Structure 1
Amino acid sequence: MTPRHLAVWGDPIAHSKSPRLHAAAYGVLGLDWEYSSRQVDESVFDDALASLDDSWLGLSLTMPLKERAHRAAATRDTHAELTGAVNTLLLTDPVQGFNTDVGGIIDALGEQSLGDVDRVRVLGAGATAASAVVACVELGARSIEVRARRPERAASLIALGERLGVEVTSDAFDGGADRVDLTVATLPSGSALDDATVARLGERGGALFDVAYAPWPSALATAWTGGQAISGEGMLLWQAVRQIRIFRHGDQTIALPGEDGVVAAMRAVL
């Protein structure tokens, strides 16, 4: 039998823990699947996708390919449609696109007893910020404030809030800071804010959920004073669990066989 191939694509990609996570899960599940990583940028994505043969089952997509993957998918799940971002492609005919980042954030926050939020601040305005907005709305948030270096970039997130029936506002990083229950940082790993801005945001920022996980603690987490600072490793873990559900069942809501054992094996290699 021809082995099934899967991979994570992005640029950069050398730091990715996805191959270890998937390999651990496939071992427990007894699946003869091969999962690799490949550096792919936006300029070559379409050609790289077209070059894959029938042995390829699926792809995980990270920065900067989530919007490109959204365009490549013939069908998309609800979270992918809402966010305009696809981080999982199931290479059926036609190709199916999914967003497991939303569910990954929900699952990770639930593990930390942060599954009930009212006022939220999101740092950043990219594809992961859109997933954070949707996740927080599904967790009950009634207002979300987006902070970005260029607040005009948050226009799509404000429109997303209107679709979801929740007020989303935007401001610069150095704007005033009202008290919130939770801050979700979606800034690229290695991003740094000046000390005064971090102090202002942290003082009234509640718990910090930082999607960055390498290195940890992040610069933001080190300086955070508002409450507990939580690594994005939980999101990484749970979005991967949901991806494997898709590759196995075609549906991210259907649990894997013996899923507790699968998750334990994946967590052990983080």
Structure 2
Amino acid sequence: MTNQRQLQVWGDPIAHSRSPQLHAAAYRVLGLDWQYGRRQVSTATFGAELASLDSSWLGLSLTMPLKEVAYAAAAERDRAAELTGAVNTLLLGEVRRGFNTDVGGIVDAFTQAGVSSLPRVRILGAGATASSALVSAGMLGATHAQVVARRPEAARTLVDIGTALGMTVDIHGFADAPGVVDATIATVPSGTVLDADVTQHLASAGGVLFEAAYAPWPSALAAGWGSGTVISGLEMLLYQAVRQIRIFHHGDPERPFPDEDVMVAEMRSALMGD
């Protein structure tokens, strides 16, 4: 593999993306002279932009709203991508390979926080991130998931994903989520503020909170979670990028680099220093 390769993160909007800092930090540690930038690309222009790339391009990171069109553009996909219908990483070449590293990123965020098993989980929201959260929960051993959504009809696809994973999925409104769970995974849009009584209800039996939103921080939900453990979405951002870099380097998101902890520490420093 040659060292002079090009990579980018694409999305719309994209100026806020922290991926360039994360990847640049990792490439320094690995001694790779790779160029990683950002480009504003819409779903309407994605096909033409992708077709314009030459052989110097190694891969792409995809953020909203491109994960579904990237899925369609991939000739091969990993299981996480197939289950969620979303690709956030494209490895370019003669055969385009698509991956969803958000799933593994959530798993790694929980694991690094000391949570290795989640029999019961509650997911707030029913969008694309909720699909990744559900698959992540399945990888952490969940057999039952509650999906809490403002519009129950939006959560129907999550029931199908749960069936494919051998999980039962129940759908509830924000004010009536029953029972005690081991973790709550919040995938509602950044800036969402729930009524105080709803937050208290969810936090009282919600276990560990994983809050996918990280700007502003703490989110209203995280601030209202009390003394329970809270995991920031920055952890998912970090670890999904680690898996992307493994893919770009050697094609396998599950195979760590030697002394990878050094790379992760440098990436974390770059992320927190931004």
Give the paired residue count.
270
**Superposed CA offset, 1:239-269 (max 9, x none):** 1000000000011112124312111111111
8 A Cα contact 2:118 2:183, kept in partner: yes
Structure 2 counterpart of 1:102 = 103
Structure 2 counterpart of 1:81 = 82
8 A Cα contact 1:42 1:68, kept in partner: yes
Structure 2 counterpart of 1:162 = 163
Question: Which secondary structure does the structure 2 equivalent of 1:16 belong to?
Answer: coil
What code does the residue aligned with 1:252 have? P
Deviation of 1:114 (Å): 1.4
8 A Cα contact 1:203 1:226, kept in partner: no
Deviation of 1:12 (Å): 2.1
Question: Which secondary structure does the structure 2 equivalent of 1:89 belong to?
Answer: strand
8 A Cα contact 1:202 1:226, kept in partner: no
Structure 2 counterpart of 1:221 = 222
Identical aligned residues as a percent = 59
Question: Which secondary structure does the structure 2 equivalent of 1:255 belong to?
Answer: coil
Unaligned runs of 5+ in 1: none
Deviation of 1:57 (Å): 0.7
Distance 1:183 1:150 in 2: 18
8 A Cα contact 1:245 1:254, kept in partner: yes
Unaligned runs of 5+ in 2: none
Distance 1:224 1:23 in 2: 34
TM-score (norm 1): 0.96
**Superposed CA offset, 1:166-185 (max 9, x none):** 10111122324321110001
8 A Cα contact 2:122 2:185, kept in partner: yes
Structure 2 counterpart of 1:268 = 269
Distance 1:173 1:226 in 2: 21
Instruction: Give the ranges of 4+ consecutive aligned residues of structure 1 lying more than 6 Å apart after TM superposition.
Output: none
Structure 2 counterpart of 1:230 = 231
**Superposed CA offset, 1:205-243 (max 9, x none):** 111100111221112111123722210111111110000
Structure 2 counterpart of 1:35 = 36
Deviation of 1:2 (Å): 8.2
Distance 1:226 1:92 in 2: 48
CA RMSD of aligned residues (A): 1.5
Deviation of 1:124 (Å): 1.1
Question: Which secondary structure does the structure 2 equivalent of 1:202 belong to?
Answer: helix
Structure 2 counterpart of 1:6 = 7
Alignment of 1:47 with 2:48, yes or no, is yes
What code does the residue aligned with 1:267 have? R
Alignment of 1:125 with 2:126, yes or no, is yes
Alignment of 1:246 with 2:247, yes or no, is yes
**Superposed CA offset, 1:150-195 (max 9, x none):** 1111111101111111101111223243211100011222222222
Structure 2 counterpart of 1:70 = 71
8 A Cα contact 1:143 1:167, kept in partner: yes
Pick which of 148-157 and 36-45 moved more: 36-45
TM-score (norm 2): 0.94
8 A Cα contact 1:207 1:226, kept in partner: no
Distance 2:72 2:169 in 1: 25
